[in-house]
Chains A and B, each alone.
Chain A
């Protein structure tokens, strides 16, 4: 029995570079010839047209429209579920209600039929290449797309066509920082259109990404390649409509052009990462000397110097960042007992109503009337005038401060007014 070759094996053998082909790439790459450029353009245009066609068809899919109408249909109340009206011994439905429901159901069915026939007509026209898009433009045909691709080749330094992606590389992006009065060269950027995501036409997947070809990151250690690009996604700002429309219409040259024109502008009002960070000298950790990242560094609350997360220490309660040096030299905190710690969360406790000092968590007791006390103060009966009548602690809760008494009276009035409203 002859050995069968899998599809993948056949594909990889057919597409793997032969030795002769490998030799070609060893030397300096030559510029592609006019024929090669034409071949690449045709291939890119073919891929883009297929993707555009798939996307358009997914947008006019009749099943989507029919499902929409069917969902409306389902939402209509059913006659069976109507509450009957009893007249005498028998039960009847109100006639107007039934008529109304039947009329609405009929209208929905008509909508359904109209929608389905319209979809069928649009698909028919689309297949014959005469369907205008919703905005009144003639549908993008393969020749138009080929012209777009040729324009991309003419206006961008590099056009890359790979299975599932079309990308262009820009000239080095240079942005001007007003505050520092200096230009920042961010290097060349690659705008990649991902055809699979583009076909789906879904807003869940961004159809294009921005990558740095030879990018420069900010000096604070962040991974940003551009002030308006985060994780490859461009924050489009006022280009959003233009980009969406260009993709919807299949105007690919406009799309890359608009994205490029967004990348060459710095909007200092709302960047992901300020352009100044590309110019400022990198801050280093005072202990180990590594470059500091803003998100992974802290300042010592005693000496004020900045440290990376590996070199900074925290007190037991976690509210105070202290460097190792300050921790060794400072006296221990009276609350958390960590050397150099201060500003611990314990300071949030209310002072004792008897002695006036702030109790620690272990010492604090709050009576049912809401007073804060030291455990020691409660035990010392000589400091307490009498047994509290409202709660079990030895504290005269009847001796409330005037301000607290007023609050309690206000609360009572509120309760009464609510009851009055309920009665009325």
Chain B
């Protein structure tokens, strides 16, 4: 199934990607950001709503990942 994914880290990524049915938010986060990253260090929303890590993704969802900290200049 297809979902919209917005990655707000670094140069960022915005686009539609394929995920397998039954993928939870936490699994999706580790697939995209790598295993070493901590789920709690990021603000993750699905369709602009804060979600539980065990929430299962559905067709057409928009997942946005925002790092907890940015360095101003």
| Residues from chain B with Cβ under 8 Å of A138 in the complex | 4
Task: Count chain A residues whose beta carbon lies closer than 8 angstroms to a beta carbon of B.
Answer: 38
**Contact between B14 and A238 (Cβ–Cβ < 8 Å)?**
no
Known contacts A254-B66, A257-B43: does B48 contact A237 (CB below 8 Å)?
no
- Among the interface residues B14, B49, B70, which one has the most CB atoms of the partner chain A within 10 A? B70
CB distance from B44 to the nearest CB of A (A): 11
Task: Count chain B residues whose beta carbon lies closer than 8 angstroms to a beta carbon of A.
Answer: 26
**Contact between A261 and B49 (Cβ–Cβ < 8 Å)?**
no
**Contact between A261 and B66 (Cβ–Cβ < 8 Å)?**
yes
Asked if A219 CB lies within 8 Å of chain B CBs, one says no
Asked if B67 CB lies within 8 Å of chain A CBs, one says yes
Contact with A along B40-62 (1 / 0, CB 8 A): 00010101111000000000001
CB distance from B57 to the nearest CB of A (A): 16
| Residues from chain B with Cβ under 8 Å of A236 in the complex | 70, 72-73
CB-CB nearest in chain A for B8: A242
Asked if B15 CB lies within 8 Å of chain A CBs, one says yes
Asked if B21 CB lies within 8 Å of chain A CBs, one says no
Known contacts A151-B49, A251-B64, A253-B48: does B70 contact A258 (CB below 8 Å)?
yes
| Residues from chain A with Cβ under 8 Å of B68 in the complex | 261
**Contact between A264 and B69 (Cβ–Cβ < 8 Å)?**
yes
Asked if A136 CB lies within 8 Å of chain B CBs, one says yes
In chain A between 227 and 252, which residues have their CB closer than 8 angstroms to a CB of chain B?
227-228, 234-239, 241-242, 245-246, 249, 251
**Contact between A147 and B70 (Cβ–Cβ < 8 Å)?**
no
| Residues from chain B with Cβ under 8 Å of A245 in the complex | 6, 8, 12, 14
Asked if A319 CB lies within 8 Å of chain B CBs, one says no
| Residues from chain A with Cβ under 8 Å of B48 in the complex | 144, 147-148, 150-151, 253
CB distance from B7 to the nearest CB of A (A): 9
Q: In the assembly, what is the distance between CA of A253 and CA of B65, in Å?
A: 12
**Contact between A237 and B66 (Cβ–Cβ < 8 Å)?**
no
Known contacts A137-B15, A249-B14, A258-B70: does B6 contact A147 (CB below 8 Å)?
no
**Which A residues lie at the B interface, using CB under 8 A?**
135-138, 144, 147-148, 150-151, 154-155, 227-228, 234-239, 241-242, 245-246, 249, 251, 253-254, 257-258, 261-267, 270-271
**Which B residues lie at the A interface, using CB under 8 A?**
4, 6, 8-12, 14-16, 43, 45, 47-50, 62, 64, 66-73
